[in-house]
Amino acid sequence: MSAAKTLSHNTLEKIQQRLSLYEIQGAEGGPYMTLTSPTNSVPVGQVRLLAGNPIQKVVYVGISAPPIQLDSHMLFAFTSADSPVPHFTLDAIQAGPGFAFHLDLIPRVDLGANLEYMQAALHPLTVEFEAVKTIEGLSPAHLSPQQCALMSPWMLAYRANEVAFLQIEKPVNTYLEHWFGLVRQGMSAEPIIGVDSVSLAHRDRLNRQALFNPEVDPVWDKITPLIGLESGVRIREILRNQAVES
């Protein structure tokens, strides 16, 4: 098992156990979707769905393509559409001898107009955010301004050598534990400027449409040859969907 897969699967397992989530299986049992190569129908990955209170759902997408030395794992833990609690996300990737990762709590409101929210939801991550910058062997990932604007200023997105990547478990756990606390305690929408449950859900819908837009994130064009256009479209539908798939 690659270091990227280990980190992703361990994080997914922690979320499932701590929040007592159940898994939604596919029609024939097993993962919700099995991803296959469009050229020869060989399995190349899977989509797993977990759900249950107090969050909405968790979407995990794993893709492994040994011929091109790619092992990619994407995880999104979505809170309820009408909740101000941030979504949790982790990407862990091995490509050849190199690694990359992306870690964040995705804010649910306009941070510029809601200092109190920012202080509670994200500011406690600052010490870990700054510490990661000192790890040798990391270099900033190449993200567009649009991608950065859709995430939080506390986003960690780096390329890494193996030694550096193996040190990422600590910040992942720090972000995850803080997120668990926010989920457990909840966050009231009352002090948030111009925000109620309806506007939270509306913003979340628009935010997800942008986050999982191939015109914004080029990763979708990169993985289409590996899993096929239809599977790529279906995965984006799942990620955008504010309901839980049956």
Q: Which helix (H) or strand (E) holds 160?
A: strand 156-160
Q: What pLDDT sits at residue 191? A: 64
**Per residue in 44-78, pLDDT tens?**
999 999 999 999 999 999 999 998 999 999 999 99
Q: Match 């992942």 to its residue by tokens.
A: 172
pTM of the model: 0.97
115-125 mean pLDDT: 95
Choose the CATH number for 3-240 among 1.10.1030.10, 3.40.50.300, 3.40.1500.20, 3.40.30.10.
Answer: 3.40.1500.20
Query: Can you give the residue ranges of every domain in the chain?
Result: 3-240
Is 190's pLDDT higher than 90?
no
Query: In whole angstroms, what is the distance from residue 72 CA to residue 65 CA?
Result: 9
Is 189's pLDDT higher than 70?
no
Could you tell me which residues come within 8 angstroms of residue 164 by beta carbon, excluding any fewer than 6 positions away?
A: 99, 135, 136, 137, 138, 158
